[in-house]
Amino acid sequence: MPGGTGPVGDTGPVPDRRRSSTLVTGLVVVLAIVAVAVVAGTWFRGRPSALDRFYELPDRGVVVAAERGQVLREEPMDNAGTGAVAYRVLYRTVGVGDAPVAASGFVAWPSAEAPPGGYPIVALGHSTVGLADGCAPSREGLGEVNRAQAVAFLEAGFAVAAADFPGLGPEGPHPYLVGEPTAASVIDVVRAARRSAGDQLGARVVGWGYSQGGHAVLWARARVATEAPELDWRATVALAPVIDPARLVAAPGLGPVLAVAVAMGQATRGLDVEPLLTEAGREGRDDLERECVADALGDATERDGPVLVEGERGWLEDLAREVPPVAGAGPALVLYGDRDDTIDPAVVGAWVAEGAGAGVEGQVLPGRGHGGLEADTAPRSIEWLRARLAG
């Protein structure tokens, strides 16, 4: 009998070896596929999305050579339910120290045929969203941050030009509540809107802003005649505007996080923030650099202790330079609640009184705090602005 342990023709063990080999091979293939998928998934997650790519800076020479308000990049934006044409825009403006920078925002106008002279434009100033690039309102477009206000103005026959403000989107850091560069971004997004829409938009402009946005449009009102004499800025509405950022630092509840934000804004002017921050303050700074304001506020409530060190207060005196001038183009209407614990109603009232001879008027909203003013005051704001446009 030939050598072997079984009868001739008994091939039983062979299929078992093949089966094992097949299983091993299959397992190796599966593991390889999984590994490739993991690597590919990581690679794709690491790649910028189409939206991220929109905010990538153009060549520096292009930014420097462009005129203020020149559109550097634009793309159609979702405008569902508005009956409007809308674009996300990247445009040239100036930052701290008049340095040429790219800024982002969105522009929109009714799709119907424009009236003679073109649609009037509302420069829309948003409230505080945070300091991180991902918080830029134009990323949402006619979304969560500005939708109600933008739609209300579009339906009323206005075009909308909404700046993200410098450093939100491209070219950070964000000079939070720094007057001149914020004003420039508001003025230049109006110019960008006119370039984008052509003769659909006219030269008549009004401003509307809430909280940080109120500060922004009041600053734009103060500087537009000098910086953009081609624009006919007629009037401004500011809801619960931040008049004095130094008082905002001390606001209860919001104060600790917003104190860090104000200090980081001043860092763009050269303030050394590090000595001001406690350990909790550095954590707050890190939160603001990666999160939007609601999440940063939520994180702050989980920590105890002051965010800024006590004792060093000299930098607050410099914040007087960020108070909007009372004089400016056209009249201004300031609406604010008498129970606002974010801004100080007394400070706003004093600023309004100072500006009485410069066309500033104020209306106190009894029993109202800082939030929820936009919808309640929209009809009043639009009617007031329309009357000034007609005048």
Give me the residues paired with residue 208 across strands.
Answer: 124, 237
User: What residues does each domain of the chain span?
Assistant: 63-244+323-390, 246-316
Contact 284, 300 (CB under 8 A): yes
Instruction: State the DSSP H helix or E strand holding residue 18, giving kind and residue range, or none if neither.
Output: helix 13-46
Tokens linked to 268: 């763009």
Coil, strand or helix: which one is 161?
strand
Question: Which of 219, 210, 214, 211 has the alpha carbon at shortest distance from 254?
Answer: 211
What are the pLDDT tens digits along the chain (391 aa)?
Answer: 333 333 333 333 334 433 344 433 443 333 333 333 333 333 333 456 889 999 999 999 999 999 999 999 999 998 767 889 999 999 999 999 999 999 999 999 999 999 999 999 999 999 999 999 999 999 988 777 788 899 999 999 999 999 999 999 998 899 999 999 999 999 999 999 999 999 999 999 999 999 999 999 999 999 999 999 999 999 999 999 999 999 888 665 455 788 889 999 999 999 998 888 878 888 888 999 999 988 888 777 666 556 565 556 788 899 999 999 999 999 999 999 999 988 999 999 999 999 999 999 999 999 999 998 988 899 999 999 999 999 7
Tokens linked to 307: 């965010």
- Which pLDDT value is given to residue 48? 63
186 vs 13: CA distance, rounded Å: 81
Contact 162, 207 (CB under 8 A): no
- Which pLDDT value is given to residue 311? 52
Q: What is the DSSP string of 265-306?
A: HHHTTT---GGGB-HHHHHHHHHHHHSBHHHHHHHHTTS-S-
Tokens linked to 251: 């606001």
Give me the residues paired with residue 275 across strands.
Answer: none
The domain made up of 63-244+323-390 has a fold known as Rossmann fold (3.40.50)
Confidence (pTM): 0.86
- Which pLDDT value is given to residue 257? 83
- Which pLDDT value is given to residue 252? 54
99 vs 230: CA distance, rounded Å: 22
Phi first, then psi, for residue 268 (nearest 5°) are -70, -15
Coil, strand or helix: which one is 110?
strand
- Which pLDDT value is given to residue 304? 58
